[in-house]
């Protein structure tokens, strides 16, 4: 059970997002909640340096459609005001599924989480989970700008950190080469007998 603002963080530890591009997919079902998440997410990205021209937002009808919207956005490029082409370094999904009288919330939440995990494994860029799963409207409001913060803020911070981590891995990858991986070149220097000695055949 939450007892404090979950969106509090130290801004000094957040990377600069000025060179990053983001996609946001927001579900319009429970829009009084999800649009508040969207504002918190967008404002946080801009707060940490992201250019609004490099933040692309699309809307889908409900939370079930979030993974498909995220997949579309991951493959989409757009032009900014200066006619420069941008594409997302990370995609954030925002939605709200409130428990009702039936078990619909379980099926939808499981589908969204599974869909997002598949996208994360299939794509190089990160997909960030910003789906609220409250038992009632009050719990949703508490987490959409209320006493427990704003899940959209948390999703934005996670996206920035993930892009920075991905960029760091790429920059520090001493094994990468234009023609392939360093280890591939290493193996090419050995004949089959040598390779067998390494236990690789």
User: For residues 144 and 153, what is the distance between their CA atoms, to the nearest angstrom?
Assistant: 9
Q: Give the Cβ contact number of residue 148 at 10 Å.
A: 17
Q: In the chain, where do the E strands start and end?
A: 22-27, 55-60, 77-79, 85-87, 90-96, 127-132, 144-146, 149-150, 176-177, 180-181
Token duo for residue 18: 């000025």
Q: Which of 31, 35, 104, 123 is catalytic?
A: 104
Quote the Cα angle for 29-56-172, to 5°. Answer: 120
Whether residue 143 contacts residue 132, with contact meaning beta carbons closer than 8 Å, is answered with yes
Q: Is residue 104 annotated as part of the catalytic site, yes or no? A: yes
| Residue located via tokens 């939605």 | 95
* Parallel, antiparallel or unpaired: strands 144-146 and 55-60: unpaired
Q: Is the dihedral of CA 87, 75, 62, 131 positive or negative?
A: negative
Taking alpha carbons only, the member of 64, 46, 67 closest to residue 159 is 46
**Residues identified as active-site:** 104
């Amino acid at each position: 059970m939450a007892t404090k603002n979950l969106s509090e963080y130290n801004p000094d530890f957040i990377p600069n997002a000025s060179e990053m591009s983001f996609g946001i997919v927001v579900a319009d079902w429970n829009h009084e909640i999800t649009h508040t998440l969207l504002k918190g997410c967008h404002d946080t990205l801009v707060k940490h340096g992201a250019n609004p021209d490099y933040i692309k937002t699309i809307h889908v009808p409900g939370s079930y459609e979030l993974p498909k919207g995220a997949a579309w956005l991951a493959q989409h490029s757009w032009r900014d005001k200066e006619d420069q082409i941008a594409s997302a370094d990370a995609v954030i999904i925002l939605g709200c599924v409130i428990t009702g009288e039936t078990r619909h919330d379980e099926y939808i939440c499981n589908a969204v989480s599974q869909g997002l995990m598949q996208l994360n494994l299939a794509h190089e860029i990160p997909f960030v989970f910003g789906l609220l799963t409250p038992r009632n409207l009050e719990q949703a409001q508490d987490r959409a700008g209320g006493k427990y913060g704003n899940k959209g803020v948390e999703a934005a911070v996670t996206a920035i950190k993930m892009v920075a981590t991905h960029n760091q891995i790429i920059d520090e990858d001493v094994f990468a080469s234009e023609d392939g991986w360093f280890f591939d070149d290493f193996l090419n220097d050995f004949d089959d007998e040598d390779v067998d000695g390494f236990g690789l055949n």
